[in-house]
Amino acid sequence: MGKNEELPWDLFDRCLLPVIFSHAAAVILSTILNTLYISQISTFTLFLWFVISSLGAVFFYHNLKVTAAGKTILITDCTSRIGYTTARQLDDLGFTVFAGFQDKDRGSESAKKLKKDSSGRLHILQLDVTSEKQILAAAAYVKENLPHGTSGLWAVVNSATWASFGEVEWVPFDVYKQSTDVNLLSVIRITQVFLPLVRRTKGRIINIVSILGRIASPLRSPYCTVKFGVEAFSDCLRLEMRRWGVDVIVVEPGDYTTGNTWFTDEVLLAQARDMWKSMSYEARAEYGEDYFEQSVRSLQTYTKGEETDLTPVLRSLTDAVCRTFPLSRYTSVTRSEKLQAFVADHFPRSVYDIIYT
């Protein structure tokens, strides 16, 4: 199986519980009927009847989609390939898209291209997700430019991501601060500002996280830490928004699904040079330059090879926006990543450590 081969994990997750409950109901009902001599129907026959009925209902509700006309989407960062491609796809589907670009006012080529290739419904926003002033200005612009008859936003897609690497002792504290500002605090602040507009439409907040938000990884603590935080924030917000009918969804790409989306050779080497310069003499002596270079080279798997196929991630994002009954979590991951996440979530920590560390 290729690294980026799409796997239907989300549909599998949605069908798993109905199958389990169908089996349990079949066992209980057949036992009662046989004990009371009402019927001698077998457990297997009842299971087939229950599972066909429940899966039929699941597929029916799973495939219901909302009407795109008049619905508005805010995508916070379209500078990245994921944000840019999502904006194009949702625009093609008929949504009104507000596409955020950090460098829009400086003549961003990608912003110009997106505007040129899209319909007249698409709006380009100047939006530095770490700037309070620009967040509030974007909110005012969105309110003023909602389509006629639209009361609010259907979805906010928090797509801004800044990736960095390094062992904890190597990473300058400013890197942790920047990673927190872009990946976590911006999600919280943008959600706070735009949530009233989403609540009016009983829409949805969609946060792009990562499988590293559930699985710790060496050399990735600046990224894992904040993505764990976004996962926790999303879970808390989901509980709070139930009474309002607002869905809170996390789209969880795999590390190998989007790795070279965040890293390039230039970014990797620049971060490595800055990190080595900032390390203390004692730390350099303890770790050694050979070990440092070997660690940096181990991350080059993200920058080599073919360009990442984003189809699984885009399908998850489109489903999160378009489905009438979206899942709370979409995982665009490889088989090995899914297995690792399953072990991390459902097995004792000692078992996980034996297998993966």
Give the residue carrying structure tokens 């935080």: 229
* CA nearest neighbour of 14 among 238, 341, 323: 323
* CA nearest neighbour of 177 among 189, 195, 164: 164
How far is residue 195's CA from residue 73's CA, in Å, rounded to a whole number? Answer: 13
Please give the structure tokens belonging to residue 216.
């710790």
Please give the structure tokens belonging to residue 122.
């698409």
* CA nearest neighbour of 184 among 242, 215, 229, 140: 229
Angle 137-142-145 from CA coordinates, rounded to 5° = 125
Strand, coil or helix: 207: strand
How far is residue 206's CA from residue 157's CA, in Å, rounded to a whole number? Answer: 5
Largest CA distance in the chain: 83
Residues contacting 204, CB < 8 A, separation 6+: 154, 155, 156, 198, 246, 247, 248, 249, 320, 321, 326
Q: Which of 37, 84, 223, 256 is catalytic?
A: 223
Catalytic (active site) residue 330: no
Taking the chain, what is the end-to-end CA distance rounded to the nearest angstrom?
Answer: 24
Q: Which residues are catalytic?
A: 223
